[in-house]
Amino acid sequence: MLIYFESLTYDHRLKGVHMLESHAFFSKMVDELVEFSEYDPELADGIKWLDDQAQKKGITFYDMVFEVLYKHDVNSKAKDWLSTRN
């Protein structure tokens, strides 16, 4: 039995293109959340809080959303790691 693994060679010249696509996807996702908050008072309150925090830190709203999501992801992975450790 033969198993073939096929992988594309990473082209460093395309790094900027992929970064722009990721940024555009993230921005669109955040924009859609802001639009949806019109129908969800709890989400609207959270977005207002995030905006206030971003202004206090002197960063953009998008950077603040990214920071919160990143911290959540790191904390979740740390909890998963700890639960499987014992």
pLDDT in tens, 50-79: 999 999 999 999 999 999 999 988 888 888
Number of domains in the chain: 1
Q: Is residue 23 part of a domain?
A: no
Indicate if the alpha-carbon torsion angle 75, 80, 81, 83 is positive or negative: positive
Q: Among all chains, which residue has been given the structure tokens 């998963």?
A: 80
Q: Is residue 72 part of a domain?
A: yes
* pLDDT top residue among 61 and 6: 61
Dihedral-angle region of residue 58 (phi above 0 means left; psi in -120 to 50 means alpha; beta otherwise): left
Q: Is residue 46 part of a domain?
A: yes
DSSP-derived 3-state class of residue 86: coil
* pLDDT top residue among 36 and 14: 36
Q: Is residue 13 part of a domain?
A: no
